Structure 1
């Protein structure tokens, strides 16, 4: 079952619930769009099933909000997106896989060409068809993943064998350290991008992801490509998160039990009860995107859930299907078998959980809730 399709079972059969706020996602796009001026288009990165929130629901909501250009990662994502949005411009960030150009044409997709081999294949296709098909060209400004080198780009721009049959619809690069706005790499990449693309002022340009948008107009150019911020994630490490939360994960309490002081909890006996505790075991685990690295032990604290505004720390290791929470200090009237505990959402930010798990909120969002009931509704 695709995680973005309506869930087919009664609510009470699920171990938890994933609620996604489409209006909040649209509001986040509008907020980011407002950060740019009239000459800059605000697109949307919608890869990984819209960062785990459900592409089939999110894409139409963003299009209704005014977004017209979308970025997928791989061709299969883009083909599904085309079925949803027949009139959108759709780029494929991972470029042109060998022998797939005809599929791009069939579905009116634009590859982001990041190597001489990809450029040659696309150019040959256009030459054979006698028609120019749009594509983006990716230049590397320092992240050393995809993209042409500065020398390759300069050569390509003057080589009719490459760009004679078609003209790039976009020239783009990607920031390596955008989440740390004071990092010197950001200014270095901006300067490199300006230098590399100066000979092609007529081609639209794109450098900014979510962080780049929030770093100001120097990074905006002609098109910005927000991703994590659309889905409520924290784009800048050193600033408060201005985005609306868009998802809430709630896990069902299966059992409440007392644990004597000195007894251990969970696999590996890594957590010892420092006092008599009351525990709640909830039906969520790392198979549901609750990352095991956020476990607690005697040597380090783990993540937490929230019950009626009260913090419930994780106790011991997160297992595949369940998590144990310390509910000793939660009012008893909030605790009941079958009750739902917020494990991520407005009161438990993904970025906070990510800090405990020594990762980033992207990993939480893209891993969430494949076994949960999925609901599309306002969070507030």
Structure 2
């Protein structure tokens, strides 16, 4: 099998497994316990926090370990909005883009449904870009928080996050970005990006599922979602997943060290894959920005087919990929992301996403491009072999 669904998840790196193993066995203590086992666990957690902070170029105290990107997004959007409104009741709006991950969109809708916030949605252009002008026009004096993803999980479009953050700050609005897909591929220096909060998921970068991070600038007040013993500086109560934190910090450090080299290599492979699909598959449409996109994502629509049927043929031919977000569980509706780009609903239902991990090879993508040609032809009844 050629695995081209890395935007959904990645295999756990051996280095991450080896780093976490001691905290699943001999050093199993609770980091809040005041004895030798507890101190060993606390030291491991502190070391993991410092490693993450070094990659993000922030203070260790700004790093909160979570159960994944979804929890980190929820904590950022809900936590910032509720804390700010508690200080100033006039702050009753949340701004998101039309192509946010459900973890951000549903957090905003929760605030709307339960707490009376107004959700403002900034549109994207036909490539999925939030322009600074559109973003500025959508901001209000009463916006409590703005959340725009760094890179889209379906079409791969990369947003001008640093510029958007500057616009938000010019109006005194804190800015959060979902960097779940960007981690490992794009710079994560929070000072250069200018973000106040940023979410990362471990299993997208070679750590186990169930591990994540929220960076939140220390001066930003954050209402916790989980109350209890006050762990994670009061931002996320509950006994910490030390092994998961250690694995995530290890995977993030390795991904950061490899990022520049991987970006160049995989971008070249992606571009050749896109060229072949567009030139060999009649009617194929590339979705997302042709240049401002993740190295790891190539997404297409194949009008006149069913995306799910193409997926089944591709798997039969040895290629595993997806029709879009793995988080839209059980949905056969057209992707809201593609609809926001202005793609016709019937065409949006023909979408197929190919996403690559760091080990993808030229031979694999060449074989995959041939398989796409054959699969689309079979679905269209052209009987290609």
Q: Which has the higher contact order (CA 8 A, sep 6+)?
A: 2
* TM-score for the superposition, normalised by structure 2: 0.30
Instruction: Indicate the structure (1 or 2) with the bigger Cα radius of gyration.
Output: 1
* TM-score for the superposition, normalised by structure 1: 0.30
